[in-house]
Structure 1
């Protein structure tokens, strides 16, 4: 990545040189954030391994209490993020450009979108593209708004609820972080970290203990969010490889898969953003487009076209009812799906937000809202219509094993593809996409963790980025090998529980960001 104006003089005249950093053999670590984050990660891993069952049970209890008792706050913040980002885009403030009036984008629009989308939810679309709509339709685990399962109404509710979970809301949560970090780094010369967003509210204290606590929190949140995603993603990918090639889906095979993904990610990180992450992201989009076209042809182009219109209507129809948190008739579904999702997106908020900010220099705030919130929602409508809508049609027609029920989430997409033409080719594409999406997600995460642990420096030594990648892999493998599913579930529950304080932080960041934008507009 090209040099960016971080640690320069801010508009207020303050200098933000990383005086509190340790420099050793070309490496650059913050003397507080790095050791504190590392210590917390190691302590949590030790607790998870010491007694995986008790660890998972305790954190599941904390997560359950938060989802049950603070659902109102989580829902309000998700809705507020959407309104905030939309408000910035349509207001005159949307003309503000990251890096100043003369800044120009470093990446083409296609590469920009590809990197952002791959980092944000590429793996999730493969994992849940079939499974979630089918689950909502067949009452695998309750139904949205208590509609009767396996009815035409359930079909519309399933698509509306799925798009609600993967549309504006998650990307708005990511976008808040991206707007804040990008603006304060590129326009104010502050460190490339979420703590910089506190500067309008607490002044120089954002460089001290309050800001350091924020950055330590986001490092830990990102590491465990990535570790659980890498471990759970490995389970689906190896299940797919077993399905396509007939190889045994053993524990050792899953472990080798994690190592292989880590190795590819290390190579990509070493090559840098242009030659590594951007290249893989562009390849990912081409492969995803190829898979998408094959599925659209398989389900029927006319059926797909009609489905896109119907899905868009379903999303609009269910948007407000599903945004409501007061006296919901579907409490179990509401807490188990929507509230959980909003908290889970927060575990990826710092990761995706900081990464999107890294690659968005030269873009206006309005362009960022259009590309980061609107474009992925359109892509999600098309993707879920082809995969989820097509899978529901198979259930109705009884033409695939999905009609017998959703027995294995890992296998749902492969069972769907088995009923379409060229299943070996499409299933092979899914496995390949899973690998590359996981590589790009881990790459992005390692870049972000490295940025934060270095006090907000986006231009650290590439070996330092690979070091953090190795740390994430070690955490994943340690939990996977010794703790098993229970340890991974416990860490996931802990990460989701951390989504609550992240939302509180997000509220402060929005207030500070709005204050800074108004100052910028007046200057």
Structure 2
């Protein structure tokens, strides 16, 4: 594809197929396919959740056991190819063209990156995962003591590898949407491979898979995370931990998300994302001061050094004999990040117009990773320190009930007696509000992404259908909780992870077309910049001649 797609031709090929009645603007094939699949899955879970869980676990175990090397090599490839695009001459290419301008400030941009990418995951796992790796030594990062190895392993799962995947897919989506005039939809990424076929049934299948993975992934996170909110409210006000209460919480969160999603990205999502960052900073600094401050600083420095020192060997490590640990942790994470990438990638693409590829890649790779490392060091380091001084009591709690890990850690903080009660309550309140805020942000950004895909990639759609997708997402989570509780949500998560394998393979193939088209755009933008520079030089010469004549 050496030429940009004509916008009028594009609308005839794609948008003319949309259903545009009742205040909607939807691709009927994609929307119906998704709706039918959601209905079938829910009925399947309703009839026999135990059988569904067994089937999905067998599929997941087969993929992880036999194709673990695919996920590991693919994730490394995405980091390498992203860095190549950043540091080569392709890095000068501007998303949206030479004259495009950024839509959001750097702070708003970073806030939305982290909130949509993994903010809620960091809230959920920042205490539990380091403790697990501390108690059970992983086969990677073994050159340091158990604490630093545990933290470096956690860095590995939440650092450059997931953000390398996100950087690659979001760059591809942004480039084909803003530089090639294609719809902001996953089907556009495959245009160089299949041409106009992406505007037909093939594109409908691609977009349907992306919507299902996004919808189910968000529903899983919402369902599992609402258990953490329930745990926080149980600690604060004694609210019982039960399925009915969690369903009510999902309804409330969905209601707030619909208000945000109606407001759009610039008001709703942006406002909540910036609020998340400010609340998170207050919460993290409070734990840093009240916790073992010196210990946290040592953990951060030494763990980061170990992570960087052993990065290559650990990144390419593929277990040959005992695959249980790597399958349960590293490969599981990589599969989840890849299956999650259409959602996060499309959202990042939507907010990144006007930035050069070099700026984009380095920012997406480094800033969120570094902030994640700091966050994990504060909470993970505090948790490990408390666990060591309490004789393993904190880990015993985490092992049995992961959602309460963060709140239990707060109860163990060494706070002066006269401040203890009020500080613990305030910290728990902030933690609960932060979890809720992150969930609302994930919900509304996910709804915006699903809305974009199901509308064929239109940037502006009606608020009615954005509300519809937000409500459907909450409904799926609530139904699964009622049907099978956590088992149903885990079965759904297992099913979503299985989509990571085909996504990984297709994205690798697609990288060739992306680089080829970036090279074309790089030469075109260079010519435009040279012409503009020449015009400026001529203008300067003319001005100089005028000044001489006046003199």
Q: Same fold (TM over 0.5)?
A: yes
- Find the aligned partners of 1:457 and 1:10 in 2 and give their Cα distance: 21
Q: How far did 1:484 drift? A: 2.2
- Find the aligned partners of 1:147 and 1:92 in 2 and give their Cα distance: 34
Aligned to 1:231: 223
Answer whether contact 2:141 2:310 (CA < 8 A) is retained: no
| CA 24–369 in structure 1, closer or farther in 2 if over 3 Å, else same | same
Aligned to 1:163: 155
Aligned: 1:286 with 2:278: yes
Aligned to 1:297: 289
- Note the alpha carbon deviations across 1:447-481, whole angstroms, 9 max, x for none: 11111111111211111111111111111111111
Aligned to 2:406: 413
- Counterparts of 1:31-110 in structure 2, within 5 Å, are 31-110=28-107
Q: Cα RMSD (Å) of the superposition?
A: 1.9
Answer whether contact 2:140 2:153 (CA < 8 A) is retained: no
| CA 329–134 in structure 1, closer or farther in 2 if over 3 Å, else same | farther
Aligned to 2:531: none
Aligned: 1:256 with 2:248: yes
SS in 2 for 1:247: coil
Answer whether contact 2:261 2:467 (CA < 8 A) is retained: yes
Q: How many matched pairs?
A: 510
Q: How far did 1:34 drift? A: 1.5
Answer whether contact 1:107 1:359 (CA < 8 A) is retained: yes
| CA 483–501 in structure 1, closer or farther in 2 if over 3 Å, else same | same
Aligned to 2:486: 485
- Note the alpha carbon deviations across 1:194-213, whole angstroms, 9 max, x for none: 11111122222221222221
Pairing partner for 2:10 from 13, 16, 19: 16
| CA 418–376 in structure 1, closer or farther in 2 if over 3 Å, else same | same
- Find the aligned partners of 1:470 and 1:408 in 2 and give their Cα distance: 29
Q: How far did 1:53 drift? A: 0.3
SS in 1 for 2:376: helix
**TM-score for the superposition, normalised by structure 2:** 0.89
Aligned: 1:332 with 2:324: yes
Instruction: Give unpaired runs (5+ residues) of structure 1.
Output: 1-8
| CA 157–520 in structure 1, closer or farther in 2 if over 3 Å, else same | same
Q: How far did 1:322 drift? A: 2.4
SS in 2 for 1:16: helix
Aligned to 1:3: none
| CA 199–118 in structure 1, closer or farther in 2 if over 3 Å, else same | same
Q: How far did 1:485 drift? A: 2.3
| CA 418–69 in structure 1, closer or farther in 2 if over 3 Å, else same | same
Pairing partner for 2:139 from 137, 145, 152: 145
Aligned to 1:181: 173
SS in 1 for 2:474: helix
Q: How far did 1:323 drift? A: 1.5
Answer whether contact 1:269 1:277 (CA < 8 A) is retained: yes
Q: How far did 1:399 drift? A: 7.3
Answer whether contact 1:238 1:249 (CA < 8 A) is retained: yes
Q: How far did 1:157 drift? A: 1.4
Greater displacement, 283-292 / 414-423: 414-423
SS in 1 for 2:102: coil
Aligned to 2:440: 439
Q: How far did 1:328 drift? A: 4.5
| CA 443–403 in structure 1, closer or farther in 2 if over 3 Å, else same | closer
- Find the aligned partners of 2:141 and 2:166 in 1 and give their Cα distance: 31
Pairing partner for 2:314 from 322, 330, 345: 322
- Find the aligned partners of 2:96 and 2:49 in 1 and give their Cα distance: 47
- Find the aligned partners of 1:126 and 1:218 in 2 and give their Cα distance: 25
Q: How far did 1:348 drift? A: 1.6
Aligned to 2:535: none
Aligned to 1:475: 476
Q: How far did 1:152 drift? A: 6.7
Pairing partner for 1:123 from 101, 110, 120: 120
- Find the aligned partners of 2:209 and 2:395 in 1 and give their Cα distance: 44
Aligned to 1:219: 211
Answer whether contact 2:101 2:353 (CA < 8 A) is retained: yes
Q: How far did 1:294 drift? A: 0.3
- Find the aligned partners of 1:108 and 1:335 in 2 and give their Cα distance: 39
- Find the aligned partners of 1:131 and 1:487 in 2 and give their Cα distance: 22
- Find the aligned partners of 1:19 and 1:334 in 2 and give their Cα distance: 47
Instruction: Give unpaired runs (5+ residues) of structure 2.
Output: 416-422, 525-551
- Find the aligned partners of 1:259 and 1:403 in 2 and give their Cα distance: 32
Q: How far did 1:300 drift? A: 4.1
SS in 1 for 2:99: coil
- Find the aligned partners of 1:413 and 1:278 in 2 and give their Cα distance: 26
SS in 2 for 1:29: coil
Q: How far did 1:147 drift? A: 8.7
Answer whether contact 1:402 1:416 (CA < 8 A) is retained: yes
- Note the alpha carbon deviations across 1:489-518, whole angstroms, 9 max, x for none: 211110011111111222133222112111
Larger Rg: 1 or 2?
2
Aligned to 1:6: none
Aligned: 1:426 with 2:427: yes
Q: How far did 1:162 drift? A: 0.3
Aligned: 1:198 with 2:199: no
SS in 2 for 1:348: helix
Q: How far did 1:314 drift? A: 2.2
Greater displacement, 439-448 / 194-203: 194-203
